[in-house]
Each structure stands twice: as C-alpha cells, then as structure tokens.
Amino acid sequence: MTCAQFDIKPLQTLLSRFGLTIVQINQQNPIPGSFWGEPEAGLINHAVYLRLDTPIHSVLHEACHYICMDQQRRITLHTNAGGDYQEENAVCYLQILLADFLPGVGRERLWADMDTWGYSFRLGSSQAWFEYDAEEDRQWLLVHNLIYNNNQPTWQVRNE
C-alpha cells in the first residue's frame, strides 16, 4: 500500500501526536533523508518525507525510529536513524501497533507489506515474529514508556 492508495490526513494526524510532520514531495523529486532511496520515506529532524509512491510501512517505520530514538540522536537526526538491534526490532513492533490506527491499513495489511518488502524475521514472517517471538521487543517499548501493558501507544517519544 502506497501513499497514493491512502488518505494522508489520518497519517498526518497520527504522526502529529508524536510531534512529527509530513512533507509531501513532488513525484519527480528525490526524497530528502531517505536511507534506502526512493520511494522509501525520508527522515530529517521532526519531518517525515514521502511521495505518493512511498509505501505506508516505510512512513510508519521511519516515524517509529523517531519515536524510539533517544533525545540526543533526535536532535541531530538526518537520514540515518541509527540505534541498535533491540531498538530496530522495537521500531518494527511499534509500526505494527500504529497501523491499527490508520483506517484501511491495520496490522494484517502491514504484515503483508512488510513481508513483501523483505523484512526478515527468524520465524519467516512479520506476523509470526510479532505474535510468537517479539516479547523482548515489546518489553523494550514498555521500559521506554512508549506503550502501555495493553499494547496501546502512550503517544510519547522516548525521553532519555
């Protein structure tokens, strides 16, 4: 699912709860801050850059990097979100949770898109990983006060 197949307004509303803004780029232009290159989303400071051909999972992934990173990295954020293995997995977990807040997306669609893109997990699919192998990543989000015990977002960014 790309941004062209989706009403961007709910995405803007969702990400604004974390202090993020969306900057839509013309189709002919490169996407600033894109770590993977076009059509993947870009991340610079508190802005997520996208085009109509940018996948929704990519926008959510970059936004979750912003949410999960520490304040020091957030201050100098440009293209490469950095972070360690545990944080990367927490980002993947959180993007799945946030997909449920987007009408017409949801976790099932996100799992399918993540698998198609090539996310790789030990159990072979993003759904299997999320349901059976991601408890450590869920705990990371809890410790950093990014989700509640019921897996609902706290609507905060990491504050350390």
Mean residue pLDDT of the chain comes to: 95
45 occurs within a structural domain: yes
Mean pLDDT of 99-103: 97
At residue 120, does pLDDT exceed 90? no
Place 80 in a pLDDT band, splitting at 50, 70 and 90. Answer: very high
Is 105 among the domain residues? yes
pTM for the model stands at 0.95
Contact 5, 50 (CB under 8 A): no
Structure tokens at 11: 């995405």
Domain of 67 in residue numbering reads as: 3-75
Task: Examine residue 21 and state whether it is found in any structural domain, yes or no.
Answer: yes
Q: Are residues 57 and 110 in the same domain?
A: no
Do residues 68 and 43 touch, judged by C-beta distance below 8 A? no
- The 3-state DSSP class for residue 23 equals strand
Is residue 148 one of the residues assigned to a domain? no
Q: What is the mean pLDDT of residues 51-56?
A: 97
Structural domain contains residue 150:
no
Q: Is 78 exposed, middle or buried (0-12, 13-18, 19+ CB in 10 A)?
A: exposed
Does any domain span residue 156? no
Burial label for 70, CB within 10 Å (0-12, 13-18, 19+), is middle
Please count the structural domains in the chain: 2
Out of 29, 52, 75, a domain closes at 75
